[in-house]
Structure 1
Amino acid sequence: MMEHSASDSETEDHVQPLLRRKDTGEIQKAPACCSSRYGLAFLSCYGFFVAYALRVNLSVAMVDMLKNRTSANSSSSVCPHHSSPVPKHNHTASVYDWDSETQGWILGSFFYGYILTQIPGGYLARKYGAKWLLGIGILCTVIFTLLTPVAADLGAGYLIAVRVLEGIGEGVSYPAMHAMWASWAPPLERSRLLTISYTGALERIWFHV
């Protein structure tokens, strides 16, 4: 009878959540200052800032890349015509005669590639290493971003293909970071570290204001 009650108490202690258990001894907390986990959080914050800048740079540049057409991002009700003449810009780069439908395909093509690597990115990160996958994905996005002017000069189809490849490269960023934090973030600090890490993606607010 005593053996049965002892086993029951052990089972109850085993199923009791960690946060509700009483401390049986002093547990030394890992220091936060100059720690690797917080260094990773701030570096990933800057990495997501760069990643989102690579995503939206064409949306900003599209306004000045077009000939006498209304951009997909502009509206006459928001920006009415000026009564006084507006000074013309001295274009040093090429301008393109793309209609609204072509502009929509160019701006949306990134996300066709982006959605393809969401689930495979998590699998590859756990199998081959998250840091290599994240680094290679951002590097590929940077390289294809540098090829954007060349692709635009060749034609809208080439630019759409380059944007799809950019999306494929950047689509692994969030799955790789989740896999990385699964190994680096302590359970009681996970929400804090993830908040610091993903704060870099909040720059989308600054771009849309």
Structure 2
Amino acid sequence: MSRDGSDSEEEEEREALLQTRERGARTPRAPACCSARYGLALVSCYGFFVVYSLRVNLSVAMVDMINATEPANHSASVCPSSQTVAGRNHTARVYDWDSETQGWILGSFFYGYILTQVPGGYLASRYGAKWLMGLGILSTVIFTLLTPLAADLGAGYLIAVRVLEGIGEGVTYPSMYAMWAAWAPPLRGADC
């Protein structure tokens, strides 16, 4: 069985680590506080919070964006009409989207998202993960800000904006994996 260059390099590094341990030298440890790895973990946690917020905000807002005059999916005999309807913000426009259109609008994000998973990993390793992740989040933010304008123009425009949001956000996870690959401790499995 032939080995490629990366396997032989890993074995050489493991042998060097084992020889260092046999001589009694201690492996230097990362600081427990204020290390770059912990900083990356904190920033990535916050970044993914923002990313998920951008992903689901339309799902939450659509409840108040659609026309609620359609009959509900319950029977008056089973559930009497003693329900109170929450006050609605009447300053925003209300749209007459049927459930199929709503499904296309909400699902269109994931059509763009799936397109950039593999290319995102390649681009992150080739051009730098932090820039790709930053630009991906920035483009998602910009397209999210364009959502009200696209909704006013029509469902087709909103679907296009949601696809572009998905394309921008699709590179975030591959970018983070590329960053963790660079910042993860080397030979961590040798410690076990």
Normalised by the size of structure 1, how large is the TM-score?
Answer: 0.74
Task: Determine the C-alpha separation between the residues in 2 that align with 1:133 and 1:179.
Answer: 10
Higher relative contact order (CA 8 A, sep 6+): 1
- For 1:122, the aligned partner's letter is G
Q: CA RMSD in A?
A: 2.7
In structure 2, the CA distance between the partners of 1:34 and 1:154, relative to structure 1 (3 Å rule), is same
Aligned partner of 1:176 in structure 2 is 175
Task: Determine the C-alpha separation between the residues in 2 that align with 1:174 and 1:81.
Answer: 47
In structure 2, the CA distance between the partners of 1:180 and 1:94, relative to structure 1 (3 Å rule), is same
Task: Determine the C-alpha separation between the residues in 1 that align with 2:29 and 2:106.
Answer: 47
Task: Determine the C-alpha separation between the residues in 1 that align with 2:86 and 2:45.
Answer: 39
The percentage of counterpart residues that share the same residue type is 71
Task: Determine the C-alpha separation between the residues in 2 that align with 1:89 and 1:60.
Answer: 14
Gapped runs of 5+ residues in structure 1? Answer: 1-13, 191-209
In structure 2, the CA distance between the partners of 1:84 and 1:113, relative to structure 1 (3 Å rule), is closer
Normalised by the size of structure 2, how large is the TM-score?
Answer: 0.80
Gapped runs of 5+ residues in structure 2? Answer: 1-10
Q: Greater CA deviation, 85-94 or 152-161?
A: 85-94
* 1:8-46 deviations in Å (ceiling 9; x for gaps): xxxxxx69x77xx58322122121311111101100100
Alignment of 1:115-154 (within 5 A): 115-154=114-153
In 2, are the aligned partners of 1:69 and 1:99 still within 8 Å (CA)? Answer: no
> Where does structure 1 differ by over 4 angstroms across 4 or more consecutive aligned residues?
74-77, 187-190
Aligned partner of 1:30 in structure 2 is 30
Task: Determine the C-alpha separation between the residues in 2 that align with 1:148 and 1:169.
Answer: 14
Q: CA deviation at 1:68?
A: 2.5
Aligned partner of 1:63 in structure 2 is 63
In 2, are the aligned partners of 1:69 and 1:97 still within 8 Å (CA)? Answer: no
Aligned partner of 1:185 in structure 2 is 184
